[in-house]
Amino acid sequence: MDGKTITEGTLLWEPSEKLKNEANITSYISWLKEERGLSFEDYNALWNWSVINIGDFWGSLWDFYEIKASKPYSKVIQGKMPTAKWFLDSELNYVEHVFRHSTVDYPALLFQSEIQPLMEVSWSELHDNVSSVAASLRDLGVKKGDRVAAFLPNIPQTVVAFLATASIGAIWSSCSPDFGTRSVIDRFKQIEPKILFAVDGYQYGGKAFGLQPAVARLQEVLPSLEKTVMVPYLDKDTGNNGLEGLKKILLWDDLLGKSKDLIYEQVPFDHPIWVVYSSGTTGLPKGLVHGHGGVLIEFLKFQGIQMDVHPGDRFFWFSTTGWVMWNIVQSSMLMGATPVLFDGSPGYPHMDVLWDLAEKARFTIFGTSAAYITACMNEKLQPAKRHDLSSIKAIGSTGSPLPPEGFRWVYENVKEDVWLASVSGGTDIVSGFLAACPLLPVHAGELQCSGLGIKAAAFDEDGNELIDQVGELVITEPMPSMPLFLWNDQDNSRYVESYFDLYPGIWRHGDWIKFTSRGSAVITGRSDSTLNRQGVRMGSSEIYSVVEDLPEINDSLIVGFETRDGEYHMPLFVVLNKDATLDDALKDKINKNIRSALSPRHVPDTILAISEVPHTLNGKKLEVPVKKILAGFPIEKAVNRDSMANPETISYFADLAREFAP
């Protein structure tokens, strides 16, 4: 490949006959022929069937994966978006499907952090710990439907706590410890948790961060809390005498050593399993509620058929517990794979740390973000020359679009014969709309296909489908893992407003996308104003609440967009109060406040002073038009000046956009 120009659409890889023959999707296609009398010549034919006959498709997955239910379903699907119901009358439990893969042949979990060398957790140890924690939660009065919150990093105890919570039908919700306290409060306060799991602190980038003040603050503002379970992590010798200022505390070890019997509470297919958060552009983050059965059947499809995960695979995806990829990593256990957990900075003590782990842990699937691949490329890393990566069969990429140069870097510097599985979806469906397939080739800059059962399309403003043109990503048929509802959205109005506002009855996801005539796709960025940094979304309103709380700031505007070279750029524009100056001290103050209150990932790349924020006639900030202009759209296609209260302000951003031109 050296010396060849890599542009969007360049063919980079094709699967071997061995890979295709051994792929789970090949087994599924054979099963459909034997059990249903259906024949498909290629993936596109299978996909067409799956989106035209959605009831038959999802029903076939139920049988193919032998989903265990204490009560059978009476009907696969009833109704349409946004109120479709799935597998009516069935009862099951997600966790029961995890432990049916228990084995002594390989570990249940692998884990490494900046303070913990690589270690294994056996299936028997995982089972005993989950059963003990579940029994302890029951003793504490936790029952079906109660909420359990976790302020935990990506460590084995988090997986144990989640599985224990879900096994009794309680509802899980997690935030990463690197979230600022206000950001965590905004999420957990909505759901009124009964139990909080937390760590005493964590290490990131070689620096230790104590969390006891943050935990004390959570206890103060969450009156629903009855107990806090502290997991000693930063200081493993932490005892009750080291937890001054905290109340109603139990230590992690207090929950262990109890029942060896794991009881799987049988719940309806649409009984909530967790609340995850996808920020809106105004107000509090949206609490997205998903059901046991919906995520179970979607994960079986995503992991088994799209990602080709097999028993014994070692599945890694760099993530924190605040990103949906954490949920996806643990779901690889549904296929009998071993999730590899990592807590720490991907750049500490050097940029090779994850490639070191890939070699030691023998990853078969190495998932990461497009931003990480781009960072490795910019650092001119050559992992293949320094590491044995022979175990890796797939490199996963998500979080933002991976440019063709990133694809090239993988094939030249990681592995020539590797399946580069670029996927795109979201917290909203805890999976991917655009997926990978081991039967299809890989083209630079493209996602291989739409996932089975996902009728994705690109629409223009009038709802016409586009091919080989950029449009809004829409989903025109329901999926089982779409949210059951949004937390505290009593009349479903916020749910409808969030996804069905532009095209009634059709899900608009907020991505600009182009579908090729081959069925592949190219994501060109977010079409809404959500800030998507390294796959972690945050609403702009959360940034404004922190920035505009400063006495120096009168108003502000923040946008995030993909530049033409594939980087994600997030500038913050501020309107200063009289006598304030945007010097280095004020910039540092703004960044520090965002980092501590919200998230270090959402510290802006640059801060610029402007005279006035562009507003609509009714006072709304023009985030999406500014984002479009900075991404290269002409002003006349990005905004209607007649709808603006201050149209003279928009020219500044057109001038600024020239800095990002190729």
**CATH placement of domain 101-265:** 3.40.50.980
- With the CA atoms of 469, 470, 471 and 477 taken in that order, what torsion angle do they form, in degrees rounded to the nearest 10? 70
Per-residue pLDDT tens digits for 171-188: 999 999 988 898 899 999
Per-residue buried b or exposed e for 48-71, using 16+ beta carbons within 10 Å of the residue's own CB: ebbbeebeebbbbbbebbebebee
Alpha-carbon distance of 534 to 451, in angstroms, equals 22
Longest dimension (CA), the chain: 77
Alpha-carbon distance of 553 to 590, in angstroms, equals 10
Q: Is 642 exposed, middle or buried (0-12, 13-18, 19+ CB in 10 A)?
A: exposed
| 11-98+270-526, CATH topology level | Rossmann fold (3.40.50)
Per-residue pLDDT tens digits for 109-166: 999 999 999 999 999 999 999 999 999 999 999 999 999 999 999 999 999 999 999 9
Q: Is 583 exposed, middle or buried (0-12, 13-18, 19+ CB in 10 A)?
A: exposed
- The segment(s) of the chain belonging to CATH 3.40.50.12780 are 11-98+270-526
Residue 281 has pLDDT above 70, yes or no: no
Write phi, then psi, for 292 (nearest 5 degrees): -50, -50
| H-run or E-run covering 92 | strand 91-92
- Candidates 319, 401, 447, 445; CA nearest to 567 is 401
What mean pLDDT is predicted for residues 627-645?
Answer: 83
Alpha-carbon distance of 228 to 249, in angstroms, equals 5
**Residue 431, CA distances (Å) to 23, 306, 439, 480 in order:** 20, 11, 20, 11
Alpha-carbon distance of 87 to 57, in angstroms, equals 12
Return left, alpha or beta for 501; rule: phi > 0 is left, psi -120 to 50 is alpha, else beta.
Answer: alpha
State residue 401's pLDDT score.
82
* 183 touches 229 (CB < 8 A): no
Per-residue pLDDT tens digits for 578-600: 899 999 999 999 999 999 888 88
- The segment(s) of the chain belonging to CATH 3.40.50.980 are 101-265
What superfamily would CATH give domain 539-660?
A: ANL, C-terminal domain (3.30.300.30)
- Distance of alpha carbon 124 from the chain centroid: 29
More confident residue, 600 or 305: 305
State residue 77's pLDDT score.
98
Residue 618 has pLDDT above 70, yes or no: no
What mean pLDDT is predicted for residues 355-364?
Answer: 98
Q: Name residue 277's amino acid.
A: Y
- Candidates 575, 456, 471; CA nearest to 506 is 456
Mean of all residue pLDDT scores within the chain: 92
State residue 242's pLDDT score.
59
- Candidates 34, 164, 189, 187; CA nearest to 99 is 164
* 15 touches 439 (CB < 8 A): yes
Alpha-carbon distance of 43 to 327, in angstroms, equals 27
Pairing of strands 470-475, 249-251: unpaired
Alpha-carbon distance of 370 to 567, in angstroms, equals 9
State residue 534's pLDDT score.
72
Per-residue pLDDT tens digits for 187-245: 999 999 999 999 999 999 999 999 999 999 999 999 999 999 999 999 877 655 557 77
State residue 260's pLDDT score.
79
- Distance of alpha carbon 245 from the chain centroid: 34
State residue 662's pLDDT score.
46
Helix residue ranges per DSSP H, 169-272: 181-191, 212-221
What the block records as the tokens of 547 is 């920035």
- Name the percent of the chain lying above pLDDT 90: 76
What mean pLDDT is predicted for residues 595-621?
Answer: 87
Confidence band, pLDDT 50/70/90 cuts, at residue 282: very low
Alpha-carbon distance of 61 to 100, in angstroms, equals 17
Write phi, then psi, for 277 (nearest 5 degrees): -125, 130
Q: For 385-530, list the strands marked E by DSSP.
A: 394-398, 419-422, 424-426, 431-435, 442-443, 449-450, 456-459, 465-466, 470-475, 485-486, 507-515, 521-526
End-to-end CA distance of the chain: 24
DSSP one-letter code for 658: G
Only one residue has tokens 């259906």, namely 38
Per-residue buried b or exposed e for 82-98, using 16+ beta carbons within 10 Å of the residue's own CB: beebbbeebbbbbbbbb
Instruction: Supply the angle between the helices 181-191 and 584-597 in degrees, to the nearest 10.
Output: 30
State residue 280's pLDDT score.
45
Confidence band, pLDDT 50/70/90 cuts, at residue 624: confident
Per-residue buried b or exposed e for 369-407, using 16+ beta carbons within 10 Å of the residue's own CB: bbbbbbbbbeeebebbeebebeebbbbbbbbbbbbbbbb
Q: Please, which residues have CB within 8 angstroms of residue 82's CB and are 6 or more apart in sequence?
A: 482, 492, 495, 496, 499, 500, 505, 507
DSSP string across 341-390? EEES-TTSS-TTHHHHHHHHHT-SEEEEEHHHHHHHHHTT--HHHHS--T
| H-run or E-run covering 407 | helix 404-413
- Name the percent of the chain lying above pLDDT 70: 96
Residue 266 has pLDDT above 60, yes or no: yes
Residue 283 has pLDDT above 70, yes or no: no
What mean pLDDT is predicted for residues 252-278?
Answer: 94
Alpha-carbon distance of 248 to 425, in angstroms, equals 39
State whether residue 148 is helix, strand or coil.
Answer: strand
Q: Long-range contacts made by residues 44-50, C-beta under 8 angstroms, separation at least 24?
A: 44/449, 44/519, 46/452, 47/449, 47/450, 47/452, 47/519, 50/452, 50/453
Write phi, then psi, for 627 (nearest 5 degrees): -60, -45
- Candidates 440, 324, 412, 405; CA nearest to 421 is 440
Per-residue buried b or exposed e for 108-125, using 16+ beta carbons within 10 Å of the residue's own CB: bbbbbbbebeeeebebee
Q: Name residue 364's amino acid.
A: T
Taking residue 603's Cβ as centre, other Cβ atoms within 10 Å add up to 18
- The segment(s) of the chain belonging to CATH 3.30.300.30 are 539-660
